[in-house]
C-alpha cells in the first residue's frame, strides 16, 4: 500500500513539474488560443449547443434572467431535488427556483431543453464605479443542434409570455389616483397608489347571471384579442359605460372586472385636472393591463365649452392698437388651452394619445346618461353600455347566498314549498329597490333566523312598494293639475277677441247702470 501512495505522489509531482514548465515556456495568449481551438474541435463533434444567460449584462440587469427564473419556478417545485424559495416585493405568492448549480429538464414542442443554474464567486476588482454582487449568477441552456431553429426565438418568446403571466398573477394589484393639481410624487410620477384589496367578484356581484356571463365573455375576448386588434388596425383598448340609479353596484362591477382580469385600477379625478396637456401626461404614465375609471362623468367637471365656438362671432372693426387688445379668437384659444375641454377628453379616450399604450380599459359611470354628450357615447369611446338596474329576483338570490349563506338548492326548495319566497319574488320586482338597500337589510338581520330575516326583508319591500305607489299617485295628481292649468292658459291665449268682447259688454252694462242711477238722483 505504501508503494502505491509513493507512485501516486511521484505522478502528481511530475504533472506539477510539467505544468510549471508549460507555464514558463508557453505564454498565456498561446495557451488561450490552444484552449479555444480545442473547445471548437470538441464542439464541432458535439450534438449540443449552449446558451449562457447571465444575471447582469455588462452594467445593466438582464431582463431575460428574471424571466427564466420565473418560468422555471412553475416546474421546479416538481422536478428539481433542491430548491431556493423567495417572495419578491409586492408579490402575494412564494416563488420556487433552482438552487446553485442544479439542473432542470424542460420540454417544448416535443423537444428537450436542459437548464443549469450556474453560480460562480466573483473576484472583486480593485476599483469599480458600481458595486457588483459577490456571486456571478446565470443560466445555461443546453439544446440539441437540430432543434436550434425550433427553440430560437420561439422558446424564448414563450418564456417571456409565461413569466409575464406569472408575475402579473403573483403581484399585488394597486389602486391609483392622480396627485393633487398635477403634482409629482418623490419618484416623479403623477399617480399615488395603495394596494387594491376589494373582494368583489362576478360570483358575488348582484346581477342577472346571463348579463354577467355576457360581460365576462366580452372581457375574455378583449384580453385575448391582441392579434385581432393589430390585424384590424385598432388600438388595443375598450370602453364601458355603467349607468343607472345610485346603489346599483357600479363600483362593485369595476372591482369585479379588475379582479377577473388581474388589472390595476387608475381612478382619474377630473376635478384635479386643469388642462388637456395634464390629462395627456396622466395617460402616458399609466401602464398596460389597467382599467382607467372616470366616475360620475356627468357631474365631475363642466364639459360644455365645446359648443362655445359653435357660432362665429360678428366681425369687429380693426383696432388701432392691435397689441393692446387681443382678438376674441386668441382669447378663446388661450382660455381653451388653460382649461379641460370636452375635446381633450374625447382625444384622451379615442384620439392619437389613447394609442400610447396597449390593453387598457376605460370605464365611465353616471347616474344620468341623458346628460352626456352624444360624442362620448359612440362606439370607440364607450363600446359597451351596461345598465345597472334595480334588484331583480335572480340578484336577490345572490345576495341571500352572500349574506345569509343560503345555497341554490335550499332556495329552490323554498320556492317550491314556501309561500314566503314567492311573495319575495313578486315584491322585489314591484319595489324597485337597489341592491345596496337590500344588502343593508340583510346585514342588519344576518344574526337572526333565516326565516325571520326573509320576513323582515318582505316587510321592507312591501313598504317600499306602497311608498312608491303613493308617490306615483301624488305625482300623477300634480301632473294632472299642471296640465289643466296649461290647458286653461292655452284656451285663454287662443280666444282673446271673445274675452275682449265679453269684457266690453260687461263694461257697457256697468256704465248703463251708473247712468240710470245718476238720473234717478237728479231733482225733478
Q: Of the candidates 245, 229, 218, 346, which has an alpha carbon nearest to the alpha carbon of residue 294?
A: 346
99 preceded by cis ω (within 30°)?
Answer: no
Are 148 and 253 members of one domain? no
Are 346 and 432 members of one domain? no
Are 267 and 148 members of one domain? no
Mean per-residue pLDDT pooled into runs of 10, the chain (524 residues):
80 80 73 73 74 77 83 64 64 66 82 86 57 73 86 86 79 83 59 89 93 95 90 90 93 94 91 85 86 86 49 41 43 55 79 75 92 86 92 91 84 76 89 92 86 89 88 84 82 66 55 54 49
Are 358 and 237 members of one domain? yes
Range of the structural domain that residue 424 is part of:
393-468
Domain edge (last residue) among 468, 491, 509: 468
Are 290 and 173 in contact by the 8 Å Cβ rule? The answer is no
Strands, sheet with 103-108, edge to edge from the N-terminal-most edge strand: 48-54, 135-144, 111-121, 103-108
- Cα 439 to Cα 305: distance, rounded to the nearest angstrom: 41
Are 52 and 90 members of one domain? yes
Q: What pLDDT is attached to residue 307?
A: 45
Are 248 and 382 members of one domain? yes
Q: What pLDDT is attached to residue 138?
A: 87
Q: What pLDDT is attached to residue 488?
A: 82
> Looking at the domain assignment, is residue 520 inside a domain?
no
- Cα 19 to Cα 16: distance, rounded to the nearest angstrom: 5
- Cα 404 to Cα 448: distance, rounded to the nearest angstrom: 9
Report the predicted TM-score, pTM, of the whole model to 2 decimal places: 0.66
- Cα 415 to Cα 409: distance, rounded to the nearest angstrom: 10
> Looking at the domain assignment, is residue 200 inside a domain?
yes
Q: Of the candidates 240, 224, 177, 200, which has an alpha carbon nearest to the alpha carbon of residue 436?
A: 200
Q: Of the candidates 362, 424, 403, 341, which has an alpha carbon nearest to the alpha carbon of residue 238?
A: 362
Alpha helices in 388-449 (DSSP H): 393-404, 408-417, 419-431, 435-444
Q: What pLDDT is attached to residue 320?
A: 41
Coil, helix or strand at residue 264:
strand
Q: What pLDDT is attached to residue 182?
A: 56
- Cα 246 to Cα 441: distance, rounded to the nearest angstrom: 17
| Residue 281: count of CB within 10 angstroms of its CB | 16
Are 246 and 183 members of one domain? yes
- Cα 151 to Cα 435: distance, rounded to the nearest angstrom: 54
Q: Of the candidates 338, 339, 340, 360, which has an alpha carbon nearest to the alpha carbon of residue 349?
A: 360
Are 373 and 240 members of one domain? yes
Are 89 and 185 members of one domain? no
> Looking at the domain assignment, is residue 412 inside a domain?
yes
Are 158 and 48 members of one domain? yes
- Cα 409 to Cα 84: distance, rounded to the nearest angstrom: 46
Q: What pLDDT is attached to residue 293?
A: 94
> Looking at the domain assignment, is residue 508 inside a domain?
no
Q: What pLDDT is attached to residue 323?
A: 40
Please state the separation of Cα 248 from the chain's center in Å: 20
Are 265 and 149 members of one domain? no
How many domains are there within the chain? 3
Are 404 and 296 members of one domain? no
Beta bridge mates, 113 = 106, 143
Amino acid at each position: 500500500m505504501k508503494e502505491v501512495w509513493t507512485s501516486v505522489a511521484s505522478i502528481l509531482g511530475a504533472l506539477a513539474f510539467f505544468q510549471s514548465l508549460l507555464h514558463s515556456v508557453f505564454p498565456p495568449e498561446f495557451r488561450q488560443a490552444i484552449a479555444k481551438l480545442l473547445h471548437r474541435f470538441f464542439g464541432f463533434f458535439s450534438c449540443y449547443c449552449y446558451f449562457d444567460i447571465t444575471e447582469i449584462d455588462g452594467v445593466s440587469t438582464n431582463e431575460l434572467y428574471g424571466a427564466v427564473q420565473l418560468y422555471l419556478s412553475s416546474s421546479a417545485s416538481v422536478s428539481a431535488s433542491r430548491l431556493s424559495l423567495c417572495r419578491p416585493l409586492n408579490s402575494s405568492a412564494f416563488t420556487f427556483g433552482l438552487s446553485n448549480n442544479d439542473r432542470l429538464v424542460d420540454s417544448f414542442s416535443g423537444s428537450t431543453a436542459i437548464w443549469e443554474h450556474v453560480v460562480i464567486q466573483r473576484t472583486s476588482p480593485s476599483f469599480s464605479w458600481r458595486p457588483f454582487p459577490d456571486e456571478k449568477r446565470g443560466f445555461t441552456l443546453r439544446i440539441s443542434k437540430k432543434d436550434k431553429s425550433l427553440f430560437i426565438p420561439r422558446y424564448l418568446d414563450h418564456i417571456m409570455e409565461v413569466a409575464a403571466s406569472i408575475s402579473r398573477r403573483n403581484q399585488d394589484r394597486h389602486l391609483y389616483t392622480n396627485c393633487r393639481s398635477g403634482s409629482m410624487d418623490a419618484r416623479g410620477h403623477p399617480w399615488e397608489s395603495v394596494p387594491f384589496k376589494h373582494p368583489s367578484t362576478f360570483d358575488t356581484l348582484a346581477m342577472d347571471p346571463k348579463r354577467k356571463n355576457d360581460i365576462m365573455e366580452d372581457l375574455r375576448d378583449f384580453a385575448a384579442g391582441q392579434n385581432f386588434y393589430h390585424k384590424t388596425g385598432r388600438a388595443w383598448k375598450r370602453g364601458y359605460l355603467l349607468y343607472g340609479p345610485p346603489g346599483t353596484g357600479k363600483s362593485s362591477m369595476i372591482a369585479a372586472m379588475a379582479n377577473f382580469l388581474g388589472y390595476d385600477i387608475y381612478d382619474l379625478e377630473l376635478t384635479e385636472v386643469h388642462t388637456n396637456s395634464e390629462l395627456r401626461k396622466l395617460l402616458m404614465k399609466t401602464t398596460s393591463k389597467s382599467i382607467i375609471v372616470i366616475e360620475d362623468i356627468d357631474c365631475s367637471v363642466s364639459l360644455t365649452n365645446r359648443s362655445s365656438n359653435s357660432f362665429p362671432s360678428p366681425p369687429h372693426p380693426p383696432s388701432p392698437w392691435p397689441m393692446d387688445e387681443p382678438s376674441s379668437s386668441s382669447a378663446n384659444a388661450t382660455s381653451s388651452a388653460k382649461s379641460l375641454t370636452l375635446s381633450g377628453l374625447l382625444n384622451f379616450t379615442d384620439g392619437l394619445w389613447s394609442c400610447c399604450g396597449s390593453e387598457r380599459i376605460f370605464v365611465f359611470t353616471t347616474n344620468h346618461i341623458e346628460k352626456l354628450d352624444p360624442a362620448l357615447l359612440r362606439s370607440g369611446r364607450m363600446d359597451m353600455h351596461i345598465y345597472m338596474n334595480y334588484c331583480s329576483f335572480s340578484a336577490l338570490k345572490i345576495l341571500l347566498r352572500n349574506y345569509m349563506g343560503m345555497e341554490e338548492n335550499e332556495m329552490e326548495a323554498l320556492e317550491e314549498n314556501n309561500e314566503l319566497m314567492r311573495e319575495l319574488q313578486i315584491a322585489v320586482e314591484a319595489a324597485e329597490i337597489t341592491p345596496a338597500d337590500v344588502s343593508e337589510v340583510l346585514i342588519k338581520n344576518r344574526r337572526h333566523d333565516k326565516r325571520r330575516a326573509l320576513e323582515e326583508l318582505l316587510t321592507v319591500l312591501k313598504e317600499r312598494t306602497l311608498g312608491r305607489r303613493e308617490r306615483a299617485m301624488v305625482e300623477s295628481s300634480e301632473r294632472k293639475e299642471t296640465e289643466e292649468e296649461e290647458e286653461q292658459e292655452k284656451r285663454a291665449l287662443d280666444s282673446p277677441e271673445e274675452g275682449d268682447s265679453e269684457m266690453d259688454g260687461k263694461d257697457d252694462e256697468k256704465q248703463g247702470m251708473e247712468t240710470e242711477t245718476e238720473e234717478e238722483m237728479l231733482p225733478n
